[in-house]
Amino acid sequence: MNVTIVTGASRGTHVVAVARSEEPLRCLRIKYGEERVVTVQGDLAEEETVKQIISTCIERFGRIDNIIANAGVLEPVEQISLANIPAWKKLFDINFFSIVSLVAQALPYVKQSKGNVILVSSGASTKAYYGWGAYGTSKAAINQFALQLASEETDVKCVAVAPGVVDTQMQEDIRDKFGKNMTPEGHKRFTDLKRNQELLDPIVPATIYANLAIKGINANINGKYLRYNDDALADTGYWPSLPGAKANPGAAAAADAYAEAYAEAEAIGHAAPGAYALAASEDDCASIFCHMYCGLMISAGSECPQNTTDNYSGPYEAGCLCGSDDTTFLSYYDSCMSCGWTLWKYYSGCLENALVECASENTVYTATEPTGTSRCSTTLSYSYTVDPNINYSTYV
Residue 229 lies in a domain: yes
pLDDT band at 108 (very low <50, low <70, confident <90, very high): very high
Overall domain count for the chain: 3
Do residues 208 and 347 both lie within one domain?
no
Residue 116 pLDDT greater than 60, yes or no: yes
Average pLDDT, the chain: 66
pLDDT digits (tens, 9 = 90+) for 16-62: 555 445 555 555 555 555 555 677 777 777 888 889 889 888 888 89
pLDDT digits (tens, 9 = 90+) for 240-261: 433 332 333 334 444 555 566 6
* Most trustworthy range by pLDDT among 18-22, 329-333, 390-394: 18-22
Say which residue, 378 or 230, is predicted with more confidence: 230
pLDDT value at position 76? 96
Residue 62 lies in a domain: yes
CA pair distance 72, 145, nearest whole angstrom = 15
Do residues 275 and 385 both lie within one domain?
no
Do residues 59 and 133 both lie within one domain?
yes
Spatial neighbors of 361 by CB under 8 A, at least 6 apart, are 380, 381, 382, 383
pLDDT value at position 340? 31
Do residues 228 and 311 both lie within one domain?
no
Residue 113 lies in a domain: yes
Do residues 210 and 258 both lie within one domain?
no
Do residues 305 and 160 both lie within one domain?
no
pLDDT digits (tens, 9 = 90+) for 275-306: 555 555 433 333 333 333 332 222 233 333 33
Residue 194 lies in a domain: no
CATH assignment at residue 223: 3.40.50.720
Residues forming beta bridges with residue 364, ordered by sequence position = 379
CA dist 234 to 201, 207, 230, 292, 341, Å? 18, 12, 7, 10, 11
Helices (H), 62-97: 85-92
Name the percent of the chain lying above pLDDT 90: 32
CA atoms within 13 A on the CB side of 373: 12
Helix, coil or strand: residue 316: coil
Say which residue, 367 or 2, is predicted with more confidence: 2
Do residues 108 and 204 both lie within one domain?
yes
Positions annotated as catalytic residues are: 121, 135, 139
pLDDT value at position 7? 81
Contacts for 323-328 with beta carbons within 8 Å, 24 or more apart? Answer: 323/376, 323/378, 324/378, 327/379, 327/380, 327/381, 327/382, 328/303
Residue 60 lies in a domain: yes
Q: Look up the domain containing 100 and give its range.
A: 2-164+200-238
pLDDT band at 151 (very low <50, low <70, confident <90, very high): very high
Residue 94 lies in a domain: yes
The per-type count for the chain, helices as H runs and strands as E runs, is: 14, 9
Cα 242 from chain centroid? 9
pLDDT digits (tens, 9 = 90+) for 314-328: 333 322 222 233 333
Do residues 218 and 343 both lie within one domain?
no
Do residues 101 and 141 both lie within one domain?
yes
Residue 191 lies in a domain: no
Per the CB < 8 A criterion, the answer to whether 52 and 74 are in contact is no
Do residues 132 and 261 both lie within one domain?
no
The residue-averaged pLDDT of 316-345 equals 32
- The secondary structure of residue 221, as a DSSP letter, is G
Per the CB < 8 A criterion, the answer to whether 358 and 343 are in contact is yes
C-alpha closest to that of 17 among 36, 32, 39: 39
Residue 75 pLDDT greater than 90, yes or no: yes
pLDDT value at position 23? 55
Position 260: which residue type?
A: E
Final residue before a domain boundary, out of 185, 219, 238 = 238
Helix, coil or strand: residue 281: coil
* Most trustworthy range by pLDDT among 154-158, 344-348, 365-369: 154-158
Do residues 89 and 215 both lie within one domain?
yes
Do residues 388 and 303 both lie within one domain?
yes
C-alpha closest to that of 388 among 332, 333, 348, 350: 350
Residues in the chain: 396
Residue 189 lies in a domain: no
